[in-house]
Amino acid sequence: MKTKWWHNAVVYQIYPRSFMDSNGDGIGDIGGIISKLDYLHQLGINLIWLSPVYRSPMDDNGYDISDYEDIAAEFGTLAQMDTLIAQAKARDIHILMDLVVNHTSDEHPWFLEALKGKDNPYRDFYIWRKAAADGGPPNDFHSYFGGSGWALDEASGDYYLHQFSKRQPDLNWDNPRVHAEVHAMMNRWLAKGIGGFRMDVIDLIGKEVDRQIMANGKNLHALIRQMNRATFGKGDYVTVGEAWSASPEDALLYSADDREELSMVFQFDHIKQFWDETEGKWRSKPFDLAGFKTVIDKWQTALSHQGWNSLFWSNHDLPRAVSKFGDEGEFREASAKMLATALHCLKGTPYIYQGEEIGMTNVRFDTVDEYRDIESLNLYQERLQQGVSHEDMMSGIYANGRDNARTPMQWDSSENAGFTTGTPWIGVNPNYRDINVAAALAQPDSIFWHYQKLVALRKQHPILVYGDFQQVLTEHPQVFAWLRTLGDDTLLVVNNFSREPVTLHLPESLQNWHGECLISHYTPRHTLAASLELQPYESFALLKGR
Ligand code: GLC
Ligand code: CA
């Protein structure tokens, strides 16, 4: 594997709408992000994944773009975006723009042109099919956001494909003119000095529509290689492919050096395993450590010498890490720190989702109207019509709804958590009086400072970045532990994933170690005996002395 400058970097994801509002309109914006760059610098991150800030009617909060080369008025201006790029760079932070090119907004000029008729030169930028014999959609393909994946264009009587909302028409990646436009747009962003791209649902662009194959279509990897050659492959950029469908074998296709595709893949195996086989995310299964260990182990092993993984517990589409994998109550701090240690001691690039570094939790709004996410709102309607009860659907939203991650960032204990002086576009989590950045910065042993230590450790210890992964104590029901090895060095990482103390009997090979405890959040452990008494959610990493 070739060594890259970003291998030891940590990415921080910003969901702009919910991060910081600088002008009191209740919506986070670029000015707000600029005002918090010192905070991010203090955390030590080197990359920001910026969720979309482009011009958009905001049907899906910016994942529906109507102009790739302008900024949404509510987020700011292109000049402010240039300032953000420059000010971040001055702090050694690079910005990854969110590249959403599986679809555009229905207000994008290409789509407005396409609607003008079958002869319009932009018609073929999108995917059209004739109605079925009964006038209905061409087939039963279903949108991720509910209802048919086909929408009728009344003027022509044809349907266009939309895998997400009907205001997000899919681009036709069989059309070379689409490639040329997208590549040119990407090159203009690269020229502005960004660090690269996070690529939204990139596994869908090779779709084979008539076979109803959307993910992993036959042209997918050829399209990515072509994009690499035409754009970011010419420089030292970071590219992250969001790929819900990726298997470890696919991940190697995306990210092995000789493939010349992407830097790394962002896959969801450890998330999807807690979704119901038929009901999906709306009926979640309880966390089960054995299954979790199996999935993480599979990915760590498969990508150990080639390819590169993204490491994350949460993002803007997922529940909060501590609510999903830890404990929101008594052990919130301990479990948040344990999860942080586990994540940062795996092989790959860690991602911190805004608020994770202070242990923000899921939210439970009383009524459906308080939710804002198009997916939760649409699916609530659709599934109630199908006979699902209000209570069942609300419990699905509480467990896995995307607004869990989208409540405003909690900066301090003042009104609206210091996020805005106006009315926030979505309710603030009521726990902001206790859980907020100001409180975390003031408390020397807070979750924030634990994250800061972990981010710094990756820069000091190549073993955390490049060490081979090997699980130990594999059958243990509460503990997830592994070794990292690099040259003559060995690091032992132990995580108690339970709220109970655990007596851990160590195999002989791990007994009588002495060394340096790189990180812990109880009493540091410098030596190992035959057994250990682990505290609830205790974790530590011990570098064996030579
Ligand atoms: C990705 C984004 C999600 C968005 C969808 C459609 O999964 O992360 O937020 O709704 O793509 O663009
Ligand atoms: Ca604002």
Return the best residue to mutate from 13, 60, 171 for the ligand 1 pocket (most ligand atoms within 8 A of CB).
60
* CATH number, domain with residue 485: 2.60.40.1180
Percent of the chain topping pLDDT 70: 100
The verdict on 477 and 530 lying in the same domain is yes
The mean predicted confidence, pLDDT, of the chain is: 97
Ligand 1 centroid, distance to 121 Cα (angstroms): 28
Q: How do residues 168-204 score in pLDDT, each as one tens digit?
A: 999 999 999 999 999 999 999 999 999 999 999 999 9
Mean pLDDT of 5-13: 96
Atom of ligand 1 nearest to the CA of 63: 12
* Residue 29 Cβ < 6 Å to ligand 1: no
State yes or no: pLDDT of 23 exceeds 90.
Answer: yes
Q: How many domains is the chain partitioned into structurally?
A: 3
Q: Which helix (H) or strand (E) holds 442?
A: helix 437-442
Ligand 1 centroid, distance to 304 Cα (angstroms): 28
Which of 451, 477, 492 is the last residue in one of the domains? 451
Sheet holding 539-544, edge to edge: 468-472, 479-486, 489-496, 539-544, 515-520
The verdict on 447 and 481 lying in the same domain is no
Ligand number, closest to the Cα atom of 76: 2
Q: How do residues 208-239 score in pLDDT, each as one tens digit?
A: 999 999 999 999 999 999 999 999 999 999 99
Mean pLDDT of 112-124: 98
Which of 398, 419, 451 is the last residue in one of the domains? 451
**Tell me, what's the pLDDT at 192?**
98
Strands, DSSP E only, in 277-417? 280-284, 310-311, 349-353
Take atom 12 of ligand 1 and give the residue whose Cα is closest.
63
* CATH number, domain with residue 132: 3.90.400.10
Return the best residue to mutate from 145, 165, 201, 205 for the ligand 1 pocket (most ligand atoms within 8 A of CB).
201
The verdict on 218 and 353 lying in the same domain is yes
State yes or no: pLDDT of 285 exceeds 90.
Answer: no
Ligand number, closest to the Cα atom of 25: 2
Ligand 2 centroid, distance to 219 Cα (angstroms): 41
**Tell me, what's the pLDDT at 546?**
83
Atom of ligand 1 nearest to the CA of 375: 10
Residue 1 domain flag: no
State yes or no: pLDDT of 1 exceeds 90.
Answer: no
* Residue 200 Cβ < 6 Å to ligand 1: yes
Return the best residue to mutate from 317, 375, 402 for the ligand 1 pocket (most ligand atoms within 8 A of CB).
317
* Residue 63 Cβ < 6 Å to ligand 1: yes
Specify burial of residue 268 (Cβ count, 10 A radius: 0-12, 13-18, 19+). Answer: middle
Active-site entry in 59, 98, 242, 356: 242
The verdict on 245 and 362 lying in the same domain is yes
Residues with CB under 5 A from ligand 2 (ion): 21, 23, 25, 27, 29
Distance CA 22, CA 26 (A): 9
Q: How do residues 292-317 score in pLDDT, each as one tens digit?
A: 999 999 999 999 999 999 999 999 99
- Please say whether the dihedral angle defined by the alpha carbons of residues 127, 132, 135 and 138, taken in this order, is positive or negative: negative
* Residue 203 Cβ < 6 Å to ligand 1: no
Per-residue confidence band for 395, with pLDDT thresholds at 50, 70 and 90 = very high
The verdict on 98 and 115 lying in the same domain is no
Distance CA 354, CA 332 (A): 17
Q: How do residues 478-504 score in pLDDT, each as one tens digit?
A: 999 999 999 999 999 999 999 999 999
Residue 176 domain flag: no
**Tell me, what's the pLDDT at 222?**
98
Residue 175 domain flag: no
Give the domain range for residue 119: 109-161
The verdict on 213 and 332 lying in the same domain is yes
Residue 57 domain flag: yes
Which of 451, 484, 512 is the last residue in one of the domains? 451
What's the number of CA atoms in the CB half-sphere (13 Å) around residue 135? 3
The verdict on 96 and 32 lying in the same domain is yes
Ligand 1 centroid, distance to 360 Cα (angstroms): 22
The verdict on 323 and 350 lying in the same domain is yes
Q: How do residues 34-72 score in pLDDT, each as one tens digit?
A: 999 999 999 999 999 999 999 999 999 999 999 999 999
Please provide the distance, in angstroms rounded to a whole number, between the alpha carbons at the two ends of the chain.
26
* Residue 164 Cβ < 6 Å to ligand 1: yes
> Pick from 482, 523, 476, 525: which is nearest to 504 by CA?
476
Residue 200 appears among annotated catalytic residues = yes
418-429 burial: b if 16+ Cβ within 10 Å, else e: bbbeeebbbbbb
The verdict on 142 and 80 lying in the same domain is no
**Tell me, what's the pLDDT at 485?**
98
Ligand 2 centroid, distance to 419 Cα (angstroms): 10
Residue 177 domain flag: no
* CATH number, domain with residue 398: 3.20.20.80
Return the best residue to mutate from 51, 63, 143 for the ligand 1 pocket (most ligand atoms within 8 A of CB).
63
Atom of ligand 1 nearest to the CA of 374: 10
Ligand 1 centroid, distance to 491 Cα (angstroms): 37
The verdict on 350 and 499 lying in the same domain is no
